[in-house]
């Protein structure tokens, strides 16, 4: 894509590197992939490549649908606090490409077209993951992390020209960087723990474990908590295909406990559905902990 933007044919060296580079990549990757295949066989191929690569891209199987433009909003947000400089760098370079200004400069740093080839390469680097994953049926912000270094290069290159031989601009940017660093430290120390508690079931499961329920099964009612995979491994109730099972009624939970001959389980449930257990003649529920999204209950058969 970089050479397409340059309107030039790739060199022979670059074309040959596709072959030996691919071989080298396979050798490096096989250090992990080969042992995984030898240990798990076709199940690894199916789960890792087919399910989590092809089906994640071509379908909404993993329930992360977003509109086509999703990443075009997420990527700029990742450049905060340099967002204005990122936008200006993209705007100016887009004009360079359209009018082919950069191709005719002598490369002197003070000229507008300096580092044109670097900007062109970074621009191509940024666009390829951005466009590719915008076509995906499933979208998560982490998918476009490969575009972020390119965004940083474009932004940094523009900033370096913006402050060149201008001491007041240098001071302003240093102040911005210092304030940003201080803000990040403050948020990590005081605000992030609150957000993490509300967005994760880690604290809920830990509370239940400390209160004597460390070995009890964990069920989802009227929801599926995917981050419970990290904190309740081996205790989650699953369907035959490996996905977490969702229980929609108290009756389903009672039947499951009776069939499995289990007297006590933990339930992750949205707050508005806790009242359903109060109407059950077969089960009793005790609230152990709660965040803004979920309540964890210890449910026992009467």
Spell out the per-residue pLDDT of the chain, length 302, in tens: 888 888 788 889 999 999 999 999 999 999 999 999 999 999 899 888 898 888 888 887 777 889 999 999 999 999 988 888 999 999 988 888 877 655 444 444 444 446 888 999 999 999 999 999 999 988 999 999 999 999 999 999 999 888 887 888 889 888 988 898 899 899 888 888 888 788 899 999 999 999 999 999 999 999 999 899 999 988 999 998 888 999 999 999 999 999 999 999 999 999 999 999 988 889 999 999 999 899 999 999 98
The enclosing H or E element of 284 equals strand 283-290
DSSP label of 210: I
Q: Residue 206: which of 224, 232, 185 has the closest Cα?
A: 232
What one-character-per-residue DSSP string does 19-77 give? HHHHHHHHHHHHHHHHHHHHHHTHHHIIIIIIIIIIIHHHS-TTS----TTHHHHHHHH
What one-character-per-residue DSSP string does 62-108 give? TS----TTHHHHHHHHHTTTSHHHHHHHHHHHHHHHHHT-GGGS---
* CA gap 298, 262 in Å, rounded: 12
The reply to whether the predicted model has a pTM over 0.95 is: no
Any idea which residue has 């509109």 for tokens? 67
* CA gap 79, 182 in Å, rounded: 17
Q: Quick one: CA torsion of 142, 78, 109, 121, rounded to 10 degrees?
A: 30
């Amino acid at each position: 894509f970089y050479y397409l933007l340059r309107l030039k044919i790739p060199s022979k060296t670059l074309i040959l590197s596709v072959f030996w580079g691919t071989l080298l990549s396979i050798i490096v990757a096989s250090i992990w992939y080969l042992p995984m295949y030898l240990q798990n066989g076709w199940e690894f191929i199916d789960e890792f490549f087919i399910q989590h690569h092809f089906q994640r891209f071509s379908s909404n199987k993993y329930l992360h649908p977003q509109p086509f433009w999703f990443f075009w909003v997420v990527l700029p947000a990742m450049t905060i606090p340099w967002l204005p400089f990122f936008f200006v760098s993209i705007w100016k370079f887009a004009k360079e490409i359209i009018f082919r200004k950069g191709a005719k400069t002598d490369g002197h740093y003070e000229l507008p077209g300096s580092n044109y080839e670097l900007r062109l390469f970074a621009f191509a680097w940024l666009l390829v993951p951005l466009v590719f994953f915008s076509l995906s049926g499933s979208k998560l912000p982490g998918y476009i992390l490969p575009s972020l270094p390119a965004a940083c290069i474009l932004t940094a290159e523009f900033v370096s020209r913006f402050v060149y031989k201008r001491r007041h601009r240098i001071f302003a940017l240093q102040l911005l960087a210092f304030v940003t660093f201080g803000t990040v430290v403050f948020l990590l120390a005081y605000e992030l723990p609150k957000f993490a508690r509300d967005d994760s079931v880690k604290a809920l499961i830990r509370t239940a474990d400390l209160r004597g329920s460390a070995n009890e099964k964990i069920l989802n009612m009227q929801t599926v908590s995917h981050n419970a995979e990290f904190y309740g491994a081996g205790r989650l109730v699953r369907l035959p295909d490996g996905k977490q099972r969702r229980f929609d009624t108290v009756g389903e939970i009672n039947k499951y406990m009776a069939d499995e001959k289990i007297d006590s389980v933990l339930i992750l449930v949205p707050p508005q559905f806790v009242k359903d257990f109060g109407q059950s003649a077969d089960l009793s529920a005790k609230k152990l902990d709660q965040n803004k999204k979920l309540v964890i209950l210890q449910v026992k058969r009467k």
